[in-house]
Amino acid sequence: HDVPRTQAADLALRTPPYQKLLKRLEEVRRVLGSTRQLTLAEKILYSHLDNPEESLLTGTQNGKDIRGKANLKLKPDRVAMQDASAQMALLQFMTCNLPSTAVPASIHCDHMIVGETGAKADLKNSIAGNKEVFDFLESAAKKYGIEFWPPGAGIIHQSVLENYSAPGLMMLGTDSHTPNAGGLGAVAIGVGGADAVDALVDAPWELKAPKILGVRLEGQLSGWASPKDIILKLAGQLTVRGGTGYIIEYFGPGVESLSCTGMATACNMGAEAGATTSIFPFSPSHIPYLEATHRGPIAQAAQAIASLPSERNLLRRDPEAEYDKVITIDLSTLEPHINGPFTPDLSTPLSKFKSVVEEKNWPRTFGAGLIGSCTNSSYQDMTRSEEIVKQASAAGLKPKADFFITPGSEQIRATLERDNTLQTFSAAGGTVLANACGPCIGQWKRTDDVKKGEANAILTSYNRNFPGRNDGNRATMNFLASPELITAMSYSGSTTFNPMTDSIPTPSGTPFKFTPPKGHDLPSAGFADGVAELQPTPGVPDPSVDVVVDPNSTRLALLDPFSPFPDSELTSLRVLYKVKGQCTTDTISAAGPWLKYKGHLPNISENTLIGAVNAATDEVNVAYDTDGTKSGIPELAKRWKSQGHEWLVVAEHNYGEGSAREHAALQPRYLGGRIILAKSFARIHETNLKKQGIVPLTFANEADYDLLSACDEVSTRGLLDVLRSGGKGEVELVLKKGGEEKVIKTRHTLSVDQSAFVLAGSALNVLAKNAKA
Ligand code: F3S
């Protein structure tokens, strides 16, 4: 049965603090001078600064070179967490002993639900298999006043768009596709749990001021081209690293022709280009979307702000604002694109796809077409796909590939059911999966007869397509495209089929050709709310709730605070492992089967560095103790920990590249790691290490990497002074070897705050202390 969703109290919590932000924008203008022109992303970000003057003027030339230079200390309005990452975020938050979260927050149970036979059975099995974790999340949510969206309620980013995102909002989400909310004009950034805790306890969250990449949209989409194609094309141009350190800001006349949900799709996949986030300006389509999702008053407030003169207008860029780079896309001539396999930036226009498939000898057939997910399950996406199905059904056709549909939320599912869209998919042979991540996060129990290791293709409307991502088979080629294109291609089952030009023979023998799909941006009868059981719990704290963590659990473990830095230099640190070559966050903390231990630090630490190559022997995950005893890396780390020997890791370039996975910093710290000494670090991981109390150092002379071997002992010189002076000075490592003493000069990037984290033992210890005070 349907229930009313948004109550007046919720709406107040869901409205960005516009008056405060407008005041803050005035202050930013005062600091930077009234003539300074700002982009939209800058306006929203800088209006969320804790102290604009300090952030914008420190380390910059009087605020002229903020981007890429300034360290922004931000106060986000909201936090969203998905079930897998929420566990460690909440465990960390709990150590601060606060009665409630400082900003509104939500938890979404979506990642731990499989996609196999269909929504009902899959949901039941997944809830049974993860009950302990879901119970923990729900009880913590109730205690601290976090809205809890139960399993099956929807995928984090779709639920956020429907309920929380709003023009001018700034939010953090513990998931890399959090930027999806930028479709509704928010600055929404994906982070690790420790960063989310900053916002949850009202501590400023630090971000190096991003550069801004302007994407100018001209013309208007038509025919088969969809909003997904904007980002598929852009990802091809930028590559997976091209957006790193940038916010992608869309502008230009083409914006006004796009649906709100279409803009969200483009923002969602900005993550595939490595962008910090993506954002669209306030646009006419935001108003009906906010109204249809029960947030009419937010639409009115935003509209009023968007009409203010430029200098006070929080929701539009200044007319002369400059971008660091500009890319122009003409929507009128944009073709559908297909990206992949194995990387989201391998982009091919549909008209060339057949020849590329033939040239590269990719599979000519594909086994499954999967539509929906957080990227593409809007009413517009689904009704355009439905129209394709109706055309094919009328011609007597059935899909040749397996066809799966993942609604992004209960609201969209219930609406599509009411409007008979889901029935159309099911009648055509499609399987409607739970409102959850399912196959997108590898929770897909594929039932067709593809063997592990066998090359095969699938088409999805998702956003990621790394090897093994969907079905655990690294040989499965996942090609990314719009849902309507996938739906049409599923009827031929062929990767070389172009529905814009090719025909399919019908049972009667006559050729059938699709006409371009038409859909509806929004349901004419409004959105249905869905079943009562899948509504969120209210965001009101209840101190009487006990958050129960079974001490014998293998899935969850309460965290013990890390001990503070000693009142002395570190002496007799041993080299646990000297890593050769690439060392990503996957190398340091593997995913796959280990995901189930995300809330249990001792258990997940059993995977620490198991992908690392031993520089002396080329073996993977083979470490040697001082007496030559051979073991896995986690075993040696545990043994040294039990013997009271702290350790360091020696590594090469870009240590910790990949994701923001905080477990890659938490685990070494838990096992007794004190220093990572590398040739260079990936920026986010370097910050994560400092937050967990590990000191990242780089070689002043890269060649010194050769001086060190596993089991060598080093002592620090100068580190204590550096920490006590807030990052001033240099650190040397003194290596005693063969009766000789060698000094290794290093560099560090410890700021004042980060020095305090290391001294206290972790950022969390600082937060907990401040919270108590
Ligand atoms: Fe879930 Fe895939 Fe999106 S894992 S959050 S549906 S990217």
Q: What is the pLDDT of residue 99?
A: 95
Residue type, 699: F
Q: What is the pLDDT of residue 755?
A: 97
Q: What is the pLDDT of residues 334-392, one digit of tens each?
A: 999 999 999 999 999 999 999 999 999 999 999 999 999 999 999 999 999 999 999 99
Q: What is the pLDDT of residues 209-257, one digit of tens each?
A: 999 999 999 999 999 999 999 999 999 999 988 998 999 999 999 999 9
Average pLDDT, the chain: 95
Query: Measuring CA to CA, how many Å separate 636 from each of 81, 579, 671?
Result: 34, 15, 10
3-state secondary structure of 12: helix
Site to probe by mutation for ligand 1, drawn from 106, 157, 176 as the one with most ligand atoms within 8 Å of Cβ, is 157
Across residues 389-403, what is the average pLDDT?
A: 97
Angle at 230 between CA 228 and CA 231, to 5 degrees: 70
Q: What is the pLDDT of residues 21-59, one digit of tens each?
A: 999 999 999 999 989 999 999 999 999 999 999 999 988
Strand partners, 211: 246
Tell me, in angstroms, the distance from the centre of ligand 1 to residue 442's CA. 10
Q: What is the pLDDT of residues 538-565, one digit of tens each?
A: 899 999 999 989 999 999 999 999 999 9
Across residues 12-17, what is the average pLDDT?
A: 94
DSSP string for 232-284 = HHHHHHHTTTTTBTEEEEEESGGGGGS-HHHHHHHHHGGGGGTBSEEE----T
Catalytic (active site) residue 464: yes
CB contact at 8 A, 243 and 327: no
Check 110, 419, 471, 712 and give the catalytic one.
110
Confidence class for position 697, pLDDT limits 50, 70, 90: very high
Query: Measuring CA to CA, how many Å separate 442 from each of 373, 462, 467, 592, 657?
Result: 12, 12, 11, 8, 21
Percent of the chain at pLDDT > 70 equals 99
Strand partners, 721: none
Write down the architecture of domain 75-208 according to CATH: 2-Layer Sandwich (3.30)
At residue 1, does pLDDT exceed 70?
Answer: no
Q: Domain 336-528 falls in which CATH fold?
A: Aconitase; domain 3 (3.30.499)
Q: What is the pLDDT of residue 4?
A: 45
Output the pTM of the full model: 0.91
* Ramachandran area for residue 718 (φ above 0: left; ψ -120 to 50: alpha; else beta): left
Q: What is the pLDDT of residue 3?
A: 39
Check 5, 14, 111, 469 and give the catalytic one.
111
Confidence class for position 483, pLDDT limits 50, 70, 90: very high
**Which residue, judged by its Cα, is nearest atom 6 of ligand 1?**
437
E strands of 30-145, at which residues?
71-74, 78-82, 105-108
Q: What is the pLDDT of residue 771?
A: 79
Across residues 641-652, what is the average pLDDT?
A: 98
Across residues 96-113, what is the average pLDDT?
A: 94
User: What's the CA gap between 171 and 597, in Å, rounded?
Assistant: 27
DSSP string for 505-552 = E-TTS-EE-PPPP---SS-TT-----BGGGSPPPS---TT------TT
Across residues 117-141, what is the average pLDDT?
A: 93
Cβ neighbors of 359 (< 8 A, separation 6 or more) are none
Catalytic (active site) residue 110: yes
Tell me, in angstroms, the distance from the centre of ligand 1 to residue 53's CA. 38
User: What's the CA gap between 297 and 48, in Å, rounded?
Assistant: 22
- Closest ligand 1 atom to Cα of 82: 5
- Please give the CATH number for the structural domain made up of 210-281+317-334: 3.40.1060.10
393, HSE (Cβ side, Cα atoms, 13 Å): 15
- Closest ligand 1 atom to Cα of 406: 6
Tell me, in angstroms, the distance from the centre of ligand 1 to residue 753's CA. 33
**Which residue, judged by its Cα, is nearest atom 2 of ligand 1?**
440
Site to probe by mutation for ligand 1, drawn from 112, 231, 373 as the one with most ligand atoms within 8 Å of Cβ, is 373
Smallest CA-to-CA distance from 156 within 218, 228, 83 is with 83
User: What's the CA gap between 601 and 558, in Å, rounded?
Assistant: 9
Cβ neighbors of 117 (< 8 A, separation 6 or more) are 431, 447
Confidence class for position 527, pLDDT limits 50, 70, 90: very high
Check 85, 378, 659, 680 and give the catalytic one.
659
**Which residue, judged by its Cα, is nearest atom 1 of ligand 1?**
437
Tell me, in angstroms, the distance from the centre of ligand 1 to residue 274's CA. 16
Across residues 423-440, what is the average pLDDT?
A: 95
Q: Is 359 exposed, middle or buried (0-12, 13-18, 19+ CB in 10 A)?
A: exposed
Residue type, 393: S
Q: Domain 573-772 falls in which CATH fold?
A: Aconitase; domain 4 (3.20.19)
Across residues 637-643, what is the average pLDDT?
A: 98
- Closest ligand 1 atom to Cα of 157: 5
Check 10, 77, 175, 712 and give the catalytic one.
175
User: Would you say the CATH fold of 573-772 matches that of 75-208?
Assistant: no
Q: What is the pLDDT of residues 282-317, one digit of tens each?
A: 999 999 999 999 999 999 999 999 999 999 999 999
Cβ neighbors of 543 (< 8 A, separation 6 or more) are 99, 143
Tell me, in angstroms, the distance from the centre of ligand 1 to residue 440's CA. 6
- Closest ligand 1 atom to Cα of 408: 6
User: Which helix (H) or strand (E) is 578 found in, with range?
Assistant: strand 573-580
Angle at 376 between CA 278 and CA 12, to 5 degrees: 60
Tell me, in angstroms, the distance from the centre of ligand 1 to residue 373's CA. 6
**Which residue, judged by its Cα, is nearest atom 4 of ligand 1?**
441
Give the tokens for residue 111: 């990642």
Name the residue ranges covered by the structural domains of the chain: 18-71, 75-208, 210-281+317-334, 336-528, 573-772
**Which residue, judged by its Cα, is nearest atom 3 of ligand 1?**
374
Q: Which residues sit with their C-beta closer than 6 Å to ligand 1? A: 110-111, 155-157, 175, 177, 373-374, 437, 440-441, 462-463
Catalytic (active site) residue 661: yes
Tell me, in angstroms, the distance from the centre of ligand 1 to residue 265's CA. 12
Sheet holding 147-149, edge to edge: 147-149, 105-108, 78-82, 170-173, 187-190
Q: Is 216 exposed, middle or buried (0-12, 13-18, 19+ CB in 10 A)?
A: middle
At residue 337, φ and ψ (nearest 5 deg) are -125, 155
Give the tokens for residue 469: 């991502």
Tell me, in angstroms, the distance from the centre of ligand 1 to residue 233's CA. 20
Tell me, in angstroms, the distance from the centre of ligand 1 to residue 158's CA. 10
Check 48, 286, 337, 464 and give the catalytic one.
464
User: What's the CA gap between 331 and 216, in Å, rounded?
Assistant: 10
Q: What is the pLDDT of residue 8?
A: 62
Q: What is the pLDDT of residue 448?
A: 75
Q: What is the pLDDT of residue 9?
A: 66
Query: Measuring CA to CA, how many Å separate 150 from each of 90, 96, 109, 174, 531?
Result: 16, 25, 6, 17, 12
- Closest ligand 1 atom to Cα of 375: 3
Check 29, 294, 295, 661 and give the catalytic one.
661
Residue ranges in 112-177 assigned as alpha helix (H):
119-129, 131-144, 156-163
Q: What is the pLDDT of residues 593-620, one digit of tens each?
A: 788 899 999 999 999 999 999 999 999 9
Catalytic (active site) residue 659: yes
At residue 205, φ and ψ (nearest 5 deg) are -105, 130
